[in-house]
Structure 1
Amino acid sequence: MMRRLSPVGLDFAESAPLRMVFAAGLSAPPEAVYAALADDVGSWCAWFTGVSRIAPTDDGKGRSVRLTGGTRFRESIMAAERPEHYAYRVDETNAPGLRALLEDWRLTPGPDGGTLVRWTFAADGPAPFRTVMQVSRPMLGRAFRDSMRQLDRRLVTV
């Protein structure tokens, strides 16, 4: 059963009780990385670990996401500033314990023409949820790095 989460704003990326920030360098330029994140939403299944289905909703103002384990999210796009910033908030989910979730993607040009990708996972939930997420940090970091490698390979061959 889906339930509503707190409607946090972009400032939640800096103030959330649980913040995990991951970074990776890609050889693809920021415009290509941004397009994969924001414009080609359906392709996330091909490169983001754990995403089994994703589709834009509300004329591109939102997204519907399903993870491989059955977790579902209904999201609202909070920032779409080409080519440096993309963020979305989870409005509804079936994930237990989650009170609020915002994911914030920042893209910075790299010195070699590539992109530095910084992903902030900002969440709130009761203490047991935060503990489980902290323990899961290495796995989430690995999933992010693997996903960025997959995305970079995909963008370089396109």
Structure 2
Amino acid sequence: MLRRGRPVGPEFVESAPVCMAFGAEVAAPPAAVYRELAECVEDWPDWFGPLVAVARTPEGRQVRLRGGGQFWETVLVAEPATRYAYRTDRTNAPGMTALVEDWLLVPAGGATRVRWTVATDGTAVYRAVVRAARPAIGRSFRDAMRALDRRLTLPES
């Protein structure tokens, strides 16, 4: 069953009942990281393990997760080499009422400091489950950043 999310904006990361931020460094410059995030969306499953498929839509993208989760997202912010944020408009995730993901890219020498913020709201059970999943979400992010780093820095064969 699909549920509609509240049409929150990027400022939701400041007021969400559940907000988690994760950081990592990628050796590639911000423009290369941004290209993978915003322009090569179909390739996300190659480096972000929980994803099975990502497809472009007129508003943004449709994401399918391992285990059957699906999200239809609208891009809220697309600032090349700087920031990429989107919200979930529809999902089959039980209990979720709002979700924004915000990727901030900060130059760090020739590398990029990546900060991923997940801001969400939902039923009390949903919020509890998301909070309990924080360590696993953080691990998935760190694994994804290592895979993205390899993807962007290894020479092509």
Q: Which TM class, normalised by the smaller chain length?
A: over 0.9
Shift of 1:135: 1.0
Q: How many residues align?
A: 155
Q: 1:131 is matched with which residue?
A: 128
Q: Sequence identity, in percent? A: 53
SS of 2:49's equivalent? coil
State whether structure 2 residue 61 is matched by structure 1 residue 78: no
The C-alpha deviation readout for 1:108-155, integer Å capped at 9, x for no partner, is 0013x1000000000001222111111110000000000000001001
Q: 2:61 is matched with which residue?
A: 63
The C-alpha deviation readout for 1:38-64, integer Å capped at 9, x for no partner, is 000011010012100001110xx3101
Q: 1:106 is matched with which residue?
A: 104
SS of 1:99's equivalent? strand
SS of 2:10's equivalent? coil
Which of structure 1's runs of 4+ aligned residues deviate more than 4 A? none
Return the alpha-carbon distance in structure 2 between the equivalents of residues 99 and 128 of structure 1. 12
Return the alpha-carbon distance in structure 2 between the equivalents of residues 70 and 133 of structure 1. 17
Compute the TM-score of the two structures, normalised by the length of structure 1: 0.96
Return the alpha-carbon distance in structure 1 between the equivalents of residues 14 and 114 of structure 2. 17
SS of 1:83's equivalent? coil
Q: Partner letter of residue 27 of structure 1?
A: A
Residues 3-82 of structure 1: pairs in structure 2 closer than 5 A? 3-58=3-58, 61-82=59-80
Which of 85, 88, 91 is the aligned partner of 1:87? 85
Q: Partner letter of residue 90 of structure 2?
A: E
Compute the TM-score of the two structures, normalised by the length of structure 2: 0.96
State whether structure 2 residue 112 is matched by structure 1 residue 118: no
Return the alpha-carbon distance in structure 1 between the equivalents of residues 119 and 78 of structure 2. 18
Structure 1 residues not aligned, in runs of 5+ = none
Structure 2 residues not aligned, in runs of 5+ = none
Q: Does 124-133 or 17-26 show the bigger shift?
A: 124-133
SS of 2:93's equivalent? coil
SS of 2:62's equivalent? strand
